[in-house]
Chains A and B, each alone.
Chain A
Amino acid sequence: MSTADVIGELRDGMTIGIGGWGARRKPMALVRAIVRSNIKDLTLVSYGGPDVGLLCAAGKVRKLVFGFVSLDVIALEPHFRKARQAGAIEVMELDEGMLQWGLRAAGYRLPFLPIRAGLACDIERLSPTLRTVASPYDDAETLLAMPALNLDAALVHVDHCDERGNAQVLGPDPYFDDLFCAAAAKSYVSCERILPTAAMVERGCVHSLLLDRGQVDGVVEAPFGAHPTSCSPHYGIDGDHLKAYSGSAKDDAAWADYRARFVDVDDAAYVQAAGGASRIAAIAHTIF
């Protein structure tokens, strides 16, 4: 598939889950393609980074289901803050673990999974749709019933895929990408490279094969498709780019300028605008 083919599968009002974590292994090429499209009124589910910020800046977001939004190397996401402080988006704020639990419930076709996180604080109070459940056993404990986060589509970015959708993550953390795909009616995976299956398997231990083809509905080859977020071990978080991106929240003109240079361009032109393939490939990994 091409990036445009994936966008062709998305509709106004969909609930879309985005893989990765903060400024790490986000499917940014696909996110930029949504920004360029006419799609609107999205509900996003994300361990948020610049994916959430870009889509907020472009006015694509009706509702956000989140545990945090951060650029990691810059703590606070400026476009997300702006949208929140303007009251421009509806939110469901969750504990990070609740978000995982909601994805698992959806993947297992359960209406909810019980959890303690979220009780006795304002998470429960601020999302009146959340319900508690009493253990039916002798303990009778009150638990929060984390509802399934059923997704219309999941977007994730990985290192390698084969043509059929088997996918490999070589970095040290799969984040929750497999759970996003399991929770989604359709999953679209962008990758650094599409490889023959055998060549992919040779490149890492079998534990690196995170997604099976039955979970994946479309594969897009998007070299540097996570930039400016990291795709370990290939490239780190582009702190300089994220600084410029943050500056684009200053006013409408700054955003228009960023958008013209880095969003309203095709993927090849984006890589050039971001300094070229050899520059991105050389971005050092952040030391946390």
Chain B
Amino acid sequence: MGAPVADSDCTLVDLCIAAASQAWRGDGEILASGIGLVPRLAAGLAWRTHSPDLMMTDSESVLVSEPVPVGPRGDYVPKVEGWMPFRRVFDILWAGRRHAMTSPTQIDRFGNINISCIGDPARPKVQLLGARGIPGNTINHPCSFFVPNHSPRSFVERVDMASGVGYDDSRWAKGVRRDFMELRLVVSNLAVMDFNGPSKAMRILSTHPGVTVDVVREQTGFELHVADGAGETPAPTAEQLAIIQQLDPHGERATAVSA
């Protein structure tokens, strides 16, 4: 890993990608699913730097031997190494051999996320995708989240619908296994957070350059704790930046994060 670059040389999205790539550190030979542009680039960066045993797909149906660059591929042909249709993704995730990063529309202090709908689920004000695989992902294997627009509307006191599980004790019935779940990291456009605050509540690990703890708290709809020794999110190294550029050669990430 090279020396950190000056802040002015790195964009916010590259900072977020580098920070999010840390989520998969130490995961070993499991499926890294980065869903959406920034999570996908982060997973690819994790693989290319600290976690070369990770497995990834072409975001469709095959496993590949190296992360596939996003966007038009030119002469590049994905290096297929295995078959991973959707049914096998269930097999892998129920066995716990996966760590997914997704982008919720809402997230609360205990990590319950919402991608289903805004408003009362009985008659939503805004219908979104539906729960997709979030209930199964979150109860079976490590999950992390990337939120590109940190605000009181995305970081909410209570999600309108809990599409997945979190650390809120009141949602867990007696006898339900909790030991397979782990919500590891939340990266937003303002800060990096985890769930090692009091009672497994969300807390700040670092704030991005130029962002204060107070600003993050103002933009959060619940009481946000701060980890001892929380500092500034490290800028990506020159090596990381070069890899991100290789993984996103057309610069599709330029509009992926709110300033």
Binding site for B on A (CB under 8 A): 21, 48, 66-70, 75-76, 80-81, 84-85, 87, 93-98, 100, 115-123, 126, 132, 134, 140-142, 172-176, 287-288
Contacts and interface: CB of A to CB of B under 8 A. Distances in A.
A119 B139 contact: yes
30 contacts: A21-B86, A66-B130, A68-B129, A68-B130, A68-B131, A70-B129, A76-B128, A85-B124, A96-B132, A98-B135, A100-B87, A116-B136, A117-B135, A118-B135, A119-B139, A120-B139, A120-B165, A120-B172, A120-B173, A120-B178, A121-B138, A126-B161, A141-B175, A142-B173, A172-B61, A173-B60, A173-B85, A176-B86, A288-B58, A288-B60
Which of B90, B123, B127, B128 has the largest number of chain A CB atoms within 10 A?
B127
Nearest to B128: A76
B133 A67 contact: yes
Nearest to A96: B133
**Looking at chain B's contact residues, is the secondary structure mostly helix, strand, loop, or mixed?**
loop
Given A85-B124, A116-B176, A118-B136, 18 more contacts: A67-B131, A67-B132, A75-B129, A85-B126, A97-B90, A116-B136, A117-B135, A119-B139, A119-B165, A120-B172, A120-B173, A121-B112, A121-B138, A121-B163, A122-B116, A126-B121, A172-B85, A173-B85
A142 B93 CA distance: 19
B62 interface: yes
Nearest to A21: B86
B59 interface: yes
Interface in B102-133: 112, 116-117, 121-133
B207 to A, nearest CB: 30
B19 interface: no
Given A21-B86, A68-B130, A97-B90, A121 B177 contact: no
A75 to B, nearest CB: 7
B133 A97 contact: yes
Contacts of B83: 172
B164 interface: yes
Contacts of A84: 117, 123-124, 127
Interface string B161-192: 11111000001111111101000000000000
Contacts of A141: 175-177
Contact of A287 (B62, B73, B125): B73
A238 B106 CA distance: 31
A117 to B, nearest CB: 3
Given A84-B117, A96-B132, A119-B139, A142 B60 contact: no
A230 to B, nearest CB: 11
Contacts of B135: 95, 98, 117-119, 121, 123
A95 B164 CA distance: 9
A86 B132 CA distance: 22
A68 B132 contact: yes
A210 to B, nearest CB: 11
Which of A97, A98, A288 has the largest number of chain B CB atoms within 10 A?
A97
A149 B74 CA distance: 44
B131 A94 contact: yes
Given A66-B130, A95-B134, A117 B116 contact: no
Which of B129, B161, B180 has the largest number of chain A CB atoms within 10 A?
B129
Q: Which 8 pairs, one residue from A and one from B, show the smallest C-beta to C-beta distance?
A: A117-B136, A142-B175, A95-B135, A68-B130, A84-B127, A173-B85, A172-B61, A288-B59
Contacts of A118: 135-136
B198 interface: no
B8 to A, nearest CB: 33
B125 A85 contact: yes
Contacts of B87: 100, 174-176
Which of B72, B177, B178, B180 has the largest number of chain A CB atoms within 10 A?
B177
B161 A122 contact: yes
Which of A66, A100, A122, A134 has the largest number of chain B CB atoms within 10 A?
A122
B140 A116 contact: yes
B221 to A, nearest CB: 18
Contacts of A76: 127-129
Interface in B1-58: 58
Contacts of A117: 94, 133, 135-136, 139-140
B163 A119 contact: no
Contacts of B122: 87
Nearest to B83: A172
B139 A69 contact: no
Interface string B66-80: 000001110000000
